[in-house]
Amino acid sequence: MASVDDLDIDLDSSAPLLEVRDLRVHFVTDRGVVKAVDGVSWMVNEGETLAIVGESGSGKSVSAMTILGLIQSPPATFPSGDIFLRGKSLMKMPEKQQRKLRGREIAMIFQDPLTALNPVFRVGDQIAEMVRNHQKVSKVVARRRALDLLGEVGIPNPAVRLNQYPHEFSGGMRQRAMIAMALANDPQVLLADEPTTALDVTVQAQIMALLVKLQEDRNTAIVLITHDLGVVASHADRINVMYAGRIVEAGTTDEIFYEPRHAYTFGLLSSLARMDHRRQERLTPIKGVPPSLANVPPGCPFHPRCRFATEACVVAVPRLETVSGNGHLAACVHSDQVGMANEERLAQ
């Protein structure tokens, strides 16, 4: 079992496991500055699942990719922000130490395993390679570890599968193989970027059940990045809702689903068709389209689509403020009205 100590990095065990503070990731393009992530802060602790929910263009994936150093600069710039693993700044760390931590303490699962697995190497070799990248073990030991991991993620006949290539795996099996690879070094944090979006629902259920089991066994922190509110409802402890590069609402899963206080969250929840509801006459959509990140509306980025919007929404970007209890935050001028509208909705 890899421990943090042999990395020669001082980690403060009382600090949050992973913390992102005021992160900004901008891209300079010929259409202007694309503010993919614009001042985002969150943290996650062991054994916890934090969901980051948003639509395409909300910046939800970019923050995760930044944590893993997958965003290259240029074209990206990082005007502000830092990432802390147990209180230790990742961004101020020398490149070499960063690489040590990534893949070992923080690992990522992608939406499309085909792009993350190398098609010309055997699956077993790729997992063993991952082990040997971070641990001084012999090839034999690394392969045995790969075999164990394939078994652990529920791949039948792991000894045979070890010697196969990614294309010989089905979609669900590939996703399992990628999870095995992510787990190769017992990471403390697992970033899962749309891990089941490309899969069928019955396979999605398998993969989510696997992640839950792994989390229970290893007390891993999971950051679940997705657009699927159903998956979030059944698996997240806390939720950050992102819109146009910013977090617009943050809270526990129950707070977000039953007491939304941002107009966007409220709009999303109201617009969903539900399998457990008999037919409603009409769905209640959010009007308009999500903004381009190169051209975010002034003030609250959601105001052009918002049914509660007033002139106050255009003046300044609303700050994330506590709206109830401890840690339920919303960046909405009209959070009270949203709250009341939501009570009406639930009463129906």
Region 83-142 residues binding another protein, contact defined as CB under 8 A: 110-112, 115
**Residue 58, interface with another protein (CB under 8 A)?**
yes
Q: How far apart are CA 188 and CA 106, in angstroms?
A: 6
Among 46, 55, 82, 152, binds another protein (CB under 8 A): 55
Q: Output the smallest distance, CB 14 to another protein, in A.
A: 30
Tell me the C-alpha to C-alpha distance, in Å, between residue 322 and each of 132, 143, 195, 278, 326.
Answer: 45, 50, 31, 35, 7
Among 22, 80, 139, 285, binds another protein (CB under 8 A): 285
**Residue 39, interface with another protein (CB under 8 A)?**
no
CB 249, CB 332: distance < 8 Å:
yes
Q: Segment 173-192, which members bind another protein (CB under 8 A)? A: 173
Q: How far apart are CA 54 and CA 40, in angstroms?
A: 13
Q: Output the smallest distance, CB 37 to another protein, in A.
A: 9
Q: How far apart are CA 166 and CA 304, in angstroms?
A: 45
Six-digit token string for 252? 């526990």
DSSP string, 190-218: EEEESTTTTS-HHHHHHHHHHHHHHHHHH
With contacts defined by CB under 8 A, name the span among 1-9, 14-22, 28-36, 331-339 that binds another protein: 28-36
Q: Output the smallest distance, CB 15 to another protein, in A.
A: 28
Helix (H, G, I), strand (E, B) or coil at 13: coil
Pick the closer one to another protein by CB: 143 or 328.
328
Tell me the C-alpha to C-alpha distance, in Å, between residue 285 and each of 172, 227, 267, 272, 305.
Answer: 32, 16, 7, 8, 10
Among 22, 79, 148, 209, binds another protein (CB under 8 A): 209
Pick the closer one to another protein by CB: 55 or 82.
55
Among 197, 218, 324, 337, binds another protein (CB under 8 A): 197
Classify 8 in phi/psi space as left (phi over 0), alpha (psi -120 to 50) or beta.
left
132 burial (CB, 10 Å; 0-12 / 13-18 / 19+) is: middle
**Residue 265, interface with another protein (CB under 8 A)?**
no
By CB under 8 A, the count of residues binding another protein is 81
The contact mask relative to another protein for 299-318 (x = CB under 8 A, - = no) is -----xx-------------
99 burial (CB, 10 Å; 0-12 / 13-18 / 19+) is: middle
Among 119, 202, 217, 326, binds another protein (CB under 8 A): 202
With contacts defined by CB under 8 A, name the span among 7-15, 96-104, 137-145, 272-280 that binds another protein: 272-280
CB 110, CB 178: distance < 8 Å:
yes
**Residue 296, interface with another protein (CB under 8 A)?**
no
**Residue 165, interface with another protein (CB under 8 A)?**
no
Q: Segment 240-259, which members bind another protein (CB under 8 A)? A: 253-254, 257-258
Q: Output the smallest distance, CB 265 to another protein, in A.
A: 11
- List of E strands, 186-305: 189-193, 221-226, 238-243, 246-252
With contacts defined by CB under 8 A, name the span among 61-69, 95-103, 160-168, 337-345 that binds another protein: 61-69
